[in-house]
Every structure is written in structure tokens, then in C-alpha cells.
Structure 1
Amino acid sequence: MGSRVTHLMRNFNIENRAHREISKTKPKAAPRHPASSSSPREDIAGVSMAEEIDQKNDPLLSMLKDVYVESKDPDPQAETLPEVNKVEEETQRRALKYSLPGEPYGFCDVTDVPKGKLSLVEALTALNNHKRLPKTWTPEKLAQEYSLDPKDAKALTEFFFPFDIKIIPPKTEETKQIKDS
């Protein structure tokens, strides 16, 4: 109810008020300071920048004549060869070593992976093998088995620990505890 009343009061005689504001005389702008009336391009010496730009500078012109630039178009075949090698490297794929039975979470639609990459199942298997038999499954052997970079295989075995379970011993009466007081 209150919004209707405020709406009516706001729109009451709006056209006349608008015409009254429009017909008011506009205030005049303040006069400019005499120092700012000169062009900002003029120099203290009185020489304009435009004249200075148009003048020829003979020493610079002679140095410019001494410069010689020679350019050649690059060989288009030389540029495309590295790209072809990259594409070939990316398209080299290897078949999966291990996969999950059944169809959990859509992992079964993956049949091969690019070289240098691992599927989730392969990563877990490789980490588990390394944890169980670290002397047999060294980072070098993992790199060879899964077509990985040796540096990546070393980082994988060094920083990732699957199934690492920490068992906290039960509290005994002999252990001292800090009591809240």
C-alpha cells in the first residue's frame, strides 16, 4: 500500500517539473586562466613541437643510411617438421597393462594411453608393486615397463604412497596426558 502512495507522489506533475528544469538558464563556465590558454604543445622557447618534428636532423639521417637490413623468408618445410614429430609422439600409444574387471565408473572404455602417461589403475598397480617389492620394482623398471620418463617414474615412487595406513596405538593409563583445568 505504501509503495503505491510513494509512486503516485513521485509521478505527480512530473512533466511540468521536467519542463521547468529544462527551461532554466544554464550556469556559465568559469573563465580559463591565461597561462592555460596557450597550446600545451608550445615549448618554453616558443618553438612549437610540430615545427621541431618536421625539421630534418642530418646526423640522424646519415646514421639511418648506414643501416642495412636483410631478411629472408623462412623455409616452410623446416617449420612443419618439428610439428609433425610432436604429433607423431603424441599419437604413439600403448595398450593398457592392467584394467578393472566390469565397468565401474567408465574406466573400461579406455583401451590405450599415450606413451609417458598412466591410467589410474596402472598407477595404483605400479605403486603397489613398488611398495611390496621395492628392490624388484625400481623406478627404472617402472619407467621401462610403462613407457615413462625415468624422472617421472622416480618422482612417482618418491612422492606418492598408496594404501599408507597409520595405526594410532590405543591410550593406556601409563601415557601422560595434559588435563584441562
Structure 2
Amino acid sequence: MSNMGARVTRLFRNFNLENRVHREIARAKPEAAPRHQTHVDPVHSTHISDAIHKKDDSLLTLLKSVYVESKDPTIEAIKEGTKEEVRRPLVCSLPGDPYGIVDISDVPKGKLSIVEALKALNNHKNAPQTWTVDKVSQEYSLDLKDTKALLEHFFPFEVKIIPPKTKDAKQIKDS
């Protein structure tokens, strides 16, 4: 049965095939887009190539007067050149090792640990009059503009309990 279906489709597919092919070949072909015209003057281009290949004595004498001497730095010079970053002791930390973080005793100045950042944000949120931008900046040895951006754009987590619409619904009680 499927053989018969294939024959019918082949019949419709090949119907008047030769006539359709001749019509397609006789149809006018699209013209190619015109080429971009260049505005290069042949006289000017030879002048540039001559100037490139011509030897200039004044530049050659200047090049000969240049002397470059290169030396690798010694290990002592490298050690003297690198300054150790100033570190400060932690203001607060979590007891124990709850998150698998190695005990950190100090951090570089201008940086905060996660615990210190959360504590600073929470202090500023709870008492913004006492924990001002200046005080937080001074307490944690931070840059003033960084501290201002931190307190303006980051907020500690806030849990809001929405009361149920009906009095029969169960609600989690604050402990």
C-alpha cells in the first residue's frame, strides 16, 4: 500500500518537470551589486611607497645613538619593592568554625570579613544615629566612599511575618 502512495507523490512531483525547469532557466538572473570604487591616485600611491623604501640618514644616526641596557632585578630588590599590606585584627567573629572557614585572625585594611559586614550593616540598621557612616568607616578601617556605598546599597536579611487573612489559619509564633 505504501508503494502506491510513493508512486502518486512521485507523479505529482515530476509532473511537467521539464517545462518548469526551462521556465526557471529562461528567467532573468539578478544583477551583481556594483563594486566599490576606490579613490586611490596612482601617482600618490607610488610616492608613498618610494618614501617607505627610501633610507633617511638623519633617522638612522638617531637610531644608532640609542643604547638600551637591560638587567634582571635581583631577589633582594624584589623583596624590598614589595610592601606587605597593612592588616587589622578582626572586630568580631563567629565562635568555633561553623561554616568550615579557617580561623581568620586579621584582615587587610579596607576589607571586611562576612561576619563584620553583617554586624556593621545590622548596627547601622538598628541605630543609624550612633552608627553613622563615619563611625563605621573608622571602626572597620574602611574608605569613606566605600562605607557609604555599603550602607546605602546593602541591607541585612529582614524577616517579615504577614498575618493571615482568616483567624483560623495557623501562624508561626515569634520565640
Q: TM-score under structure 2 normalisation?
A: 0.50
Q: Is the 8 A contact 1:99 1:108 kept in 2?
A: no
- Structure-2 residue corresponding to 1:6: none
What's the CA shift string for 1:102-143, capped at 9, x where partnerless? 221234611111111111111111111100111211122211
| Structure 1 residues not aligned, in runs of 5+ | 1-51, 173-181
Q: How many Å separate the matches in 2 of 1:125 and 1:66? A: 69
Q: Is the 8 A contact 1:140 1:150 kept in 2?
A: yes
What's the CA shift string for 1:58-101, capped at 9, x where partnerless? 78636x33333565659989xx79x93xx42x521110010111
- Structure-1 residue corresponding to 2:172: none
SS class of match (2:156)? coil
**Which piece of structure 1 moves more, 123-132 or 90-99?**
90-99
Task: State the percentage of identical aligned residues.
Answer: 53
Corresponding letter in the other structure for 2:54: L
- Structure-1 residue corresponding to 2:149: 155
- Structure-1 residue corresponding to 2:4: none
SS class of match (1:91)? coil
Task: Say if 2:130 is the partner of 1:136.
Answer: yes
Q: Is the 8 A contact 1:116 1:149 kept in 2?
A: yes
Point out which structure has higher relative CO (alpha carbons under 8 A, 6+ apart).
2
SS class of match (2:54)? helix
SS class of match (2:95)? coil
- Structure-2 residue corresponding to 1:94: 88
Number of equivalent positions: 112
Q: CA deviation at 1:158?
A: 0.8
Q: TM-score under structure 1 normalisation?
A: 0.49
**Which piece of structure 1 moves more, 100-109 or 153-162?**
100-109
Q: How many Å separate the matches in 2 of 1:74 and 1:134? A: 60
- Structure-1 residue corresponding to 2:58: 66
SS class of match (2:116)? helix
Q: How many Å separate the matches in 2 of 1:74 and 1:149? A: 42
